Structure 1
Amino acid sequence: MTTTVIRGGRLLDATSRSAPLTDLLVTGGVITSLGAPGMAAPAEAEVFDASGTLMHAGLVNGHTHGSTNLSKATHDRWTLELLLSGSGEWAANQTRHHKYLNTYIGAVEMLQKGCTTAYDLTFGFPLATVDDLYAIGQAYVDAGMRAVVAPMLQDVSFYKAIPGLYDALPASHKAQVDASGGDTGAILRSMEEALKHWPHDPAQVKLGIAPTIPLHCSDELTLGCVKLATEYGAQTQSHVAESKVQAVAALKRWGKSLTAHFDELGMLGPNFTVAHGVWLDDDDMRRLAAKGASVSHNAGSNMRLGAGIADSRRMLELGVNLALGTDGALCADNQNMYEAMRYASMVSNVRTPDYERWLSAPEVFTAATQGGARATGFEKAGRIAVGCLADIVFLDLHSINWIPMNDPVNQVVLTEDATGVRDVMVGGKLVVRGGRHADCDMAKLARDAQVARDEVAEANAEGKHLAQALERAVGSFCMGLCREPFHLHRYGGPLGL
């Protein structure tokens, strides 16, 4: 086993808001000792000079979509429902190479921005075959990153998932959209095959399950996902109460919240994560806390899509494990977890003038590290401590963000923007050196990405045209649902006329 001693760096202690000089010993990818500068180390240990850096645990992205990195920044003003309605423009007609490349681009970006683990709700069935999923997992292996790869599963179409939407479409559009459901049995059989034969080391990249949105899943599919997750010990995640449209539609369809519905079907548990959770109420949060579940708070995406402002303080008060995520490039545009931390901090402040209820910088940093590690099931990630994985970010203290250094945890959360990332280790291996991915030919990646982007755009020209034709009908119907009375208000302003 390789042994490395890391000398000269300052180790972030978020709790005490300090960063003392600390040496680390890493053996076989695991932190085996911490000590004062000059601590003893085996003679054969390689020395890594961390002088002039602040060391912190690798950030954990609690919710992203590796399937959308070829589509970053392609849309301006749009909602979650318009994004879903337009899936024929960005999700369809992608080859296995496109899916691999999509994922690899995001992994390289996250690593270069200090993120060492991601929860990726990737292409689902039937958009991804079992072999496609293996290739997507390989993209993370090749990038040198940890990940949960969870295909998004659904057997109810978007247009039938929201009660009344399909009926509200103009007759000419009804003939154009595919409102048919998926083959539930085939989806579950494919998911089980992928779980049974997963070729990658689960200590680095493991397969999860993502019933994409409760409304998009029949009870049969949800129960099947619960059974598979239990049998194979898989992490599960779903978009729950992301938008008011979802929250209102759940009451119309089931007479109860999305969380209550999933709870009754057995989905909630320590391996389950809610993505977004903007429209969760106290009952929902208590259910999640009682079952040991998590929420990935994706503040930037929630603002980008106009979904609202999640009550992260209340989640913590009621005992929900809080993680942070960027969301995918379609609705976050970048994969910067420093930005996600800053957004999470600031958006909590605008919920109330009571500053004692705002998220503190240590709480935000903990969510972006330990909270995410718990949600992903990589329990030994997210901390720099003996016995933990050596997933370490080294920030350059000579970068402008750190001149001067004052409160280090405040600066990580509120000042750092990823430009200060010098080096990144995953399992003790340097995957980023001097701010650049150690093994990636960025020029070639840029060329390959442009070719792939053009190929997907050409293949999906008809889907783009249909999305544009449907925008007004879908947008106006969903806006009507958003204006219906509801017992929560999560927007930053009034509903409007």
Structure 2
Amino acid sequence: MNRTPWRPLAAIALALTLAWPVLSAPAPDLVVYGDYVLTMDPEQPEIPDGAVVVDKGVIVAVGPRPEIDRRYVAARSIDGAGRVLMPGLVNGHTHSAMTLFRGMVDDLDLMTWLNDYVFPMEGRFVDPAFIRAGSELACWEMIRGGTTTFVDMYFHPDEIAGVVQRCGLRAIIAAPHIDYPSPGFSGWDDSFAAAEDFVRRWQGREPRITPAFAPHAPYTVSPRHLRATVEKAQALGAPISMHLAEAPAESAYIAEHFDTTPVQHVAGLGMYRLPLIAAHMVQLDDRDIALTAAAGVGAVHNPTSNMKLGAGISPVPAMLAAGVKVGLGTDGAASNNDLDLWEEVRMAALLHKVDSGDPTALPAGQALAMATRLGAAAIHMEDSIGQLKVGMQADMIQLAVDKTRHQPIYDITSHLVYVLDSTDVVTTIVAGEVLMRDGTVLTIDEAALRKAVDGRRDEIRAVLGKKPEGE
């Protein structure tokens, strides 16, 4: 029997069989590629020529490009030639709208800077319009630099939340409350009531926004009021963000009034029983570190701000060795003067080498982890962000490594810490949504933003008595 006529059909059947994995594959929303995929997952840290698959804002697959291409045909894709693909950065402590005070006054100690300049200028200028412009400027800067999640502590948190909602970033937004008059408030009672109201209204309202309480610091909030924060945060299941053990003046105040350290003071008031994000953590003794590790409190290291204000050097290597969850933060742009987390990664890696005299202290991989995986743990979000891993939120960035100044490349982690910077970020994605493509921020009107910022700058400059540019 002549079977020749059936050969073409057999060939077609064989081709369909070979193509079956692709034809039957699910159609996810997005595939993002990278010549280097740095997952920050200790079990699979680096994938050469890899890809990440995203569906409905969540990572559904991570692996080598050939395997991903065989299994998935996505609705959209982003090429990875000459790119590193990695988790977005986590800024564990900032005051977003203070971008409008960037460079206003420098080279002062913390208490002079706060009491003589920052607090008075805040009282004069901070209103909802100021917050909208300053927060949008901060979000633009963070999107441009590859920060995908930040922890904020500033006035008019509803305005900040609105900006975050529109621009697409992820944030823990902590409503400040303090014992003294502050913008919009006469003191503790009304600021604390407003903070509680904010937390209640924003819980569950927007998946990318987590509302939190923000008692300013143990030297500006009384023990009775700190206990009230603990009780309310516990009742609502909300996190707390606060400045803690930041500077010698704070330690001296707490020692004089309460005969203890700032850490032991707030721990004794119940703060360490809750999801606490403790910013700065500079002035610590061995017991402070042990308490922090045992309680699972997140410590946020702000090297640039701490150096600039002469606050000291946080004992980060000792905290990491003790098991403390340590992340990185920029602090506000009034004391940094930018929100560039890549600078903090590099500063942290270098600062602790010179402080200890040990060039092996805080190696590149550990410094980078503090801005990603460890940073996520420090803000109690390690189950959802900080790694490129199945089930995690699709918060990721691409950096260009194809420029002449990037060559040669031997170790991509070393390059990220010691060679690359924020200008090398080309793509920023949060929850599967592309916020920046090819270095252009897509969710913020830059021209309108510049106009708003220029207007506020002129008002502040007039009060400072500075002449306009060009005069």
Common fold by TM > 0.5: yes
| 2:141 aligned partner | 109
The CA distance in 2 between the partners of 1:27 and 1:17, in whole Å, is: 22
**Higher mean Cα deviation, 318-327 or 35-44?**
35-44
SS of 1:354's equivalent in the other structure is coil
Asked if 1:60 corresponds to 2:84, the answer is no
State the shift of 1:156 in Å: 4.8
Superposed CA offset, 1:91-142 (max 9, x none): 123221111111111111011101100011112xxxxxxxx32121111111
Q: Deviations over 1:184-212 (max 9, x none)?
A: 33332222211111277442012111111
The sequence identity of aligned pairs, in percent, is 28
| Aligned mate of 2:62, from 34, 42, 53 | 34
* Map 1:220-299 → 2, pairs under 5 A: 220-269=224-273, 271-299=275-303
Letter in 1 for 2:230: V
| Corresponding residue to 1:141 among 165, 175, 181 | 165
> Aligned residue for 1:335?
339
What secondary structure does 1:117 align onto?
A: strand
| Residue type of the alignment partner of 2:436 | V
Letter in 2 for 1:12: L
Change (3 A) 1:44 1:145: closer
Cα separation, partners in 2 of 1:263 and 1:371, compared to 1, 3 Å: same
Name the CA distance, whole Å, in 1 between partners of 2:77 and 2:269: 52
Map 1:51-450 → 2, pairs under 5 A:
51-85=81-115, 86-92=117-123, 93-123=125-155, 132-156=156-180, 183-198=187-202, 201-269=205-273, 271-356=275-360, 358-379=361-382, 380-450=384-454
State the alpha-carbon separation in 2 of the partners of residues 193 and 156 from structure 1: 19
What is the match of residue 45 of structure 1? 75
What amino acid does structure 2 have at the position aligned with 1:67? A
Does structure 1 retain, via aligned residues, the 8 Å contact 2:90–2:372? yes
Q: Which amino acid aligns with 2:197?
A: E
Whether the 8 Å contact between 2:174 and 2:211 is mirrored in structure 1 is yes
Give the Cα separation in 2 of the matches to 1:291 and 1:59: 25
| SS of 1:23 mapped into structure 2 | strand
Letter in 2 for 1:213: A
Amino acid at match of 2:96: G
Distance (Å, rounded) in 1 between the aligned partners of 2:317 and 2:59: 32
Counterpart of 1:102, as a letter, is G
Unaligned 5+ segments in structure 2 are: 1-26, 466-471
2:16 aligned residue: none
Tell whether the 8 Å contact from 1:401 to 1:416 is kept in structure 2 after alignment: no
SS in 1 for 2:356: coil
Cα–Cα, structure 1 residues 107 and 400, in superposed 2: closer, same or farther, change >3 Å?
farther
Matched, 1:23 2:57: no
Q: Secondary structure at the residue paired with 2:391?
A: coil
Q: Which secondary structure state, in structure 1, belongs to the residue aligned with residue 423 of structure 2?
A: coil
SS of equivalent residue, structure 1 residue 33: strand
Are the equivalent residues in 1 in contact too, given 2:174–2:240 (CA < 8 A)?
A: yes
Q: 1:2 to 1:43 in 2, by over 3 A?
A: closer
**Any idea what the Cα deviations from partners look like across 1:436-468, whole Å, max 9, x if unmatched?**
21132222211110102223455xx3xx69xxx
Distance 1:423 1:401, change over 3 A: farther
**Structure with the greater alpha carbon radius of gyration:** 2
Q: Deviations over 1:294-323 (max 9, x none)?
A: 110011111111111111000111121000
Aligned residue pairs, count? 431
SS at match of 1:365: helix
| Higher RCO structure (Cα 8 Å, ≥6 apart) | 1
- The verdict on how the C-alpha distance between 1:43 and 1:318 changes in structure 2, with shifts beyond 3 A counting, is closer
Deviations along 1:241-283, whole A, 9 cap, x unmatched?
1111111111001001111110111001451021111111111
